Chains A and B, each alone.
Chain A
Amino acid sequence: MLATSLTAAVLGVEAHLVSVEADSAPGFPRFTMVGLPDSSVKESESRIRAALRNCGIPFQWDRRITVNLAPAGLRKCGSSFDLATALGLLAADGALVLPQLGRVMLVGELALDGSLRPVSGVLPMLLQARSQGLSGALVPAACVREARLVPGLPIYPVATLAEAIALLSNPDLPAAPDPGDVPVADGGAAIDLAEVRGQALARRALEIAAAGGHNLLFVGPPGSGKTMLAQRLPGILPPLTEAEAVETAAIHSAAGLPAEEAVARRPFRSPHHSATVTALVGGGSAQGRAR
């Protein structure tokens, strides 16, 4: 049988919808995964085997099983495909009927005991699910805080594979739990411009830079306060708009950083001068990671 489940692949800071097509057919027992999966995606077979066995969920492994991660030309990285793959395989096996499969996005890494582990990039995936008009999304319970930034999409935190199965077995999806309100941007209360004494010209320049979004260069001897002043720029900038907050949070989520803290105040990044081009810009041998 053929079954299709939906998940997403994050490229840079954007998520692309991925259809996991699972097919179980009679024939020489073999498990094949296609669609440019990287090593961690291919390793999902071992995780799924152990998780199903430890949860006591029967599955016919002695068949010809193929999993295609479509679009086949898009490279798939990471472990977030485990949940979608496991559920797709169970549906393709024929024993379980999951009416909601194919209508919701499934995200999560499987532990060997069947529990779900958090993954990075959940926020861009949820944004993609919403723009694709999906009925909802199942995410690892630890990632549920990113749900607050995606109103309008029912998001279900699940802690185990069994919970996910129970949820998807319903003919209709139950109401999603309320994720809570978006934390209000406090504009950065930690450090204050009042701590800088004197330096009237530099303070004025900082204010002008903040008001118009201008770039700024401080020239002066060590210890004159250049770093102190620079660190206080985010505090005098206007708070992130809602659109900017979601955008910033999505970038942090894709980079594996907590998305919630990203929206509390304007980002301030201060790379050391020994940073390489890759460390500054992103990219490198693995997926193009945001830096």
Chain B
Amino acid sequence: MSLAHNGVLFLDELAEFRRATLDTLRQPLEDGHVTVARHRGVCRMPARFQLVGALNPCPCGRTGLPKARCACTPGQVRAYLGRVSGPLLDRIDLHVPVPAATFDEMSGPSGEATAVVRSRVARARRRQAARAEPGNSRCSNALLPMSRIRSQTRLGPECERLLRQAVDRLSLSARSLDRVLRVARTISDLSD
């Protein structure tokens, strides 16, 4: 995992990973390093990365395909998705559906080029750096301490009301609320 430090760790087929293996992600995601026990002491190695996971919605993989019917029972789906623990999901800020593409989309025009998107990302990162304490190299919204996120985001009454509804109706945990604020801050940094 240290080889993904300062980069991206991509876990494809997240539900196929063993629970023990996924548990090892907890320390890097929380602390940014991984501790390996050796028979003469411990060895701490840096492991701060962005995690990207990919998950099928069910074991047979046909949910979401336009003309196919999923053959899984609800129990099977629950068991399959249950392999990815709640605490791990809680630490992933963005859960994004990626539906099957239609023929029109597949043969349609290409999307924006990497360079174009990269310049927008760079601008958002510059705004974050401007807000951070001088000398702090890790200033992305995902890594800011909780206290700074609260002080950096001012919510109008509309936003407060929406958030209150979300927390009540969706039973959001404090950690989830914190992550919502961070992502909101990033979306704001990306806008013109």
> Would B98 and A220 count as touching, CB distance under 8 A?
yes
> Would B124 and A213 count as touching, CB distance under 8 A?
no
Report the nearest B residue to A235, measured CB to CB.
B114
Q: How far is the CB of A60 from chain B (nearest CB, A)?
A: 35
> Would A217 and B50 count as touching, CB distance under 8 A?
no
> Would B92 and A251 count as touching, CB distance under 8 A?
no
Interface of B (DSSP majority class): mixed
> Would A212 and B186 count as touching, CB distance under 8 A?
yes
Q: How far is the CB of B154 from chain A (nearest CB, A)?
A: 18
C-alpha spacing A241/B6, complex, angstroms: 10
A206-224 interface code vs B (CB 8 A; 1 in, 0 out): 1111111111111111111
Among A201, A205, A212, A252: residue with most chain B CB under 10 A: A212
Give how many A-B residue pairs fall within 8 Å (CB-CB). Answer: 298
Report the nearest B residue to A255, measured CB to CB.
B3
Instruction: Tell whether A213 pairs with B105 under 8 Å between CB atoms, given A208-B183, A236-B118, A267-B6.
Output: no
Query: Which segment of A88-96, A128-136, A153-161, A188-196 sits at the interface?
Result: A188-196
> Would A247 and B114 count as touching, CB distance under 8 A?
no
Query: How many chain A residues have a CB neighbour from B under 8 Å?
Result: 81
> Would B40 and A221 count as touching, CB distance under 8 A?
no
A158-209 with Cβ < 8 A to chain B: 187-188, 191-199, 201-203, 205-209
> Would A198 and B3 count as touching, CB distance under 8 A?
no
> Would A198 and B105 count as touching, CB distance under 8 A?
yes
Query: Which segment of A25-33, A143-151, A273-281 sits at the interface?
Result: A273-281
Which residues from chain A contact B117 at a C-beta distance below 8 Å?
193, 203, 206-207, 210, 236
B134-174 with Cβ < 8 A to chain A: 137, 140-143
> Would A195 and B140 count as touching, CB distance under 8 A?
no
> Would B111 and A197 count as touching, CB distance under 8 A?
yes
Q: How far is the CB of A175 from chain B (nearest CB, A)?
A: 33
B32-63 with Cβ < 8 A to chain A: 34, 36-38, 40, 43-46, 49-57, 61-63
C-alpha spacing A212/B185, complex, angstroms: 8
C-alpha spacing A78/B143, complex, angstroms: 37
> Would B121 and A236 count as touching, CB distance under 8 A?
yes
Q: Lowest 7 A-B CB distances belong to which pairs?
A: A267-B7, A212-B186, A198-B105, A220-B98, A213-B140, A283-B36, A288-B43
B residues within 8 Å of A by Cβ? 1-14, 16-17, 20-21, 24, 29, 34, 36-38, 40, 43-46, 49-57, 61-65, 89, 91-102, 105-114, 117-118, 120-122, 124-125, 128, 137, 140-143, 179, 182-183, 185-187, 189-190
Q: A207-B190, A218-B52, A219-B55 are in contact. List 16 more A-B contacts (CB 8 A).
A: A36-B40, A199-B111, A203-B112, A209-B94, A213-B141, A215-B50, A217-B14, A217-B95, A230-B10, A236-B121, A244-B6, A269-B9, A270-B11, A271-B9, A288-B43, A290-B45
Can you give 7 contacting A-B residue pairs, CB < 8 Å? A194-B111, A211-B121, A220-B56, A230-B8, A251-B5, A281-B36, A291-B3
